[in-house]
Each structure stands twice: as C-alpha cells, then as structure tokens.
Amino acid sequence: MPHTTTTPGWKRLVAVALGTAWLYASQAIAAPLDLMQQFPDIQVSELDISYDAGTGSFSANSPGDVMLAYSDGIDPTEYFDWTYSLSASLDSGTGALISGSLEIRDGSSNLRLAGSLTAFGYTDAGNTDVFEFLFDGIDGALAGDFGALGGIIINTSSSSFIGDFTTDFTATSLESDTFAAVVPIPAAVWLFGSGLLGLAAAARRRH
C-alpha cells in the first residue's frame, strides 16, 4: 500500500508565517531607516534639495563646487572643488523608493564614489527634516573604503516637506553624511520574529 506523508499543521503554519514575514520585511516603506553615522564618512557642506510630486523625482545636489570633508575617524581631509549628485525616483503616493543613484566627483571630474540607491526613509521634523538612503553597487576611487553598503543622512534646514509626497517641496542641507553603513534591524521585525517562534512552539506542543 503506498505510503503518503502529510506536512504537520505547525510546519505549514511556520512556512506561511515565514513567507508573510519575508514579504513584510521586503516592502519598500518610507519610514525612518535609523541609520548611524560610521567611518569612513564624507561630509558635504551644502546641498540643494527638491522634490517634484508630478514625477516623483527627488534630488540633492551641490550648488556648484562645495567643500567635502573625507574622514576615516581620525583626521578629516577637506576638498573644495568636489560635486555631489543624488537623484531618486519615489512613489508619489507612499514615498517608497523606486530607483536612484549617487555620484560624487572631484574637481577633475574623476569618479570618487557612486552607487545605486536601495532604500529611502525620512523623519518629518518641521523645517529640519531628515532624509536617509542606503546604496550598494559601490564604484569609484573610494569604493574600497566603503565596502558593500553605504548610507546617507541628509539633515535639512528651511524644509517645506510636510510628510506628504503628493506635494512638491524644497530644502537646504548644511550637513549631510555619506558613509559605510551598518543597518539596524527594525524593532517591528524582531517582534514579528519572536511572535512566529511563539506560534510555532505552541502549535508543536499540540501535536
């Protein structure tokens, strides 16, 4: 007589829950990324920021040549003729990142650092909003110092952003950091994972 096996109910439950957790964790939701500045770090003295709700285009560009300070955590080196260009395509309803890129060049137009944006987050704080990005695919002369993943924190002043991506806004940044990133796991994901383990244990005890 053929022998058939049936996957226990608790295993099916865990499989479904893990699939749900994966979908949850992979959603591109515009919320704070809670990045922490690391070294090496490139500090930019000034950026002009704009967002067009009609196209979902977000940009943060240096107004001509600006001062950048490259620091390994010990002695910063200042450069006065570098250019910084960040462009992102956002969902005009949710603010979720669709695509984007970062490019930093020196005064001779040599590529110093570049990458593809992979995540976007923000903190709506009146006229001093904070915008955060992650990027990978790192290229350029400084790529070896940054590793596989980079982070960007843009602190703004005079921002007209009101937490709504259906409305145009502009801002100025007098302090932004581009650095080798260490990404914290959101507390919600930890809690969700703990809940999954609890459900699995309870279901297994019943069998």
Query: Using an 8 Å Cβ cutoff, are 10 and 197 in contact?
Result: no
| pLDDT of res. 7 | 44
CA angle, corner 149, sides to 91 and 86, nearest 5?
Answer: 45
Gap between the Cα atoms of 60 and 41, Å rounded: 17
Residue 25 predicted with pLDDT over 80: no
pLDDT greater than 90 at residue 104: yes
Domain extent listing, the chain: 9-27+188-205, 41-183
How crowded is the C-beta side of 31, counted as CA atoms within 13 Å? Answer: 7
Give pLDDT, residue 5.
Answer: 37
Answer whether residue 12 shows pLDDT above 60. Answer: no
Is the pLDDT at 19 greater than 50? The verdict is no
User: What is the rounded CA–CA span in Å between residue 68 and residue 33?
Assistant: 24
- What pLDDT, in 10s, does the model give residues 87-100? 999 999 999 999 99
Q: Which residue type, as a one-letter code, is found at position 26?
A: S
Residue 37 and residue 180 in contact, taking contact as beta carbons nearer than 8 Å:
no
pLDDT attached to residue 203: 56
Residue 12 CA: distances (Å) to CA of 143, 169, 199: 44, 47, 12
Query: Mean pLDDT, the chain, as a whole number?
Result: 81
pLDDT by residue (tens digit) across 106-128?
989 999 999 999 999 999 999 99
Backbone torsions φ then ψ of 156, nearest 5 degrees: -110, 165
Q: Taking the alpha carbons of 141, 148, 183, 99 in that order, is the dihedral positive or negative?
A: positive
pLDDT in tens, 31-61: 899 999 999 999 998 999 999 999 999 999 9
Please tell me which residue, 187 or 207, carries the higher pLDDT value. Answer: 207
User: What's the pLDDT band for 75 if we cut at 50, 70, 90?
Assistant: confident
User: Which of 81 and 137 is assigned the larger pLDDT?
Assistant: 137
157-203 pLDDT, tens digit per residue, is 999 999 999 999 999 998 899 999 875 555 444 444 545 555 555 55
pLDDT on residue 195: 52
CA distance 72 to 78: 12
Residue in the block written with tokens 């005064």? 107
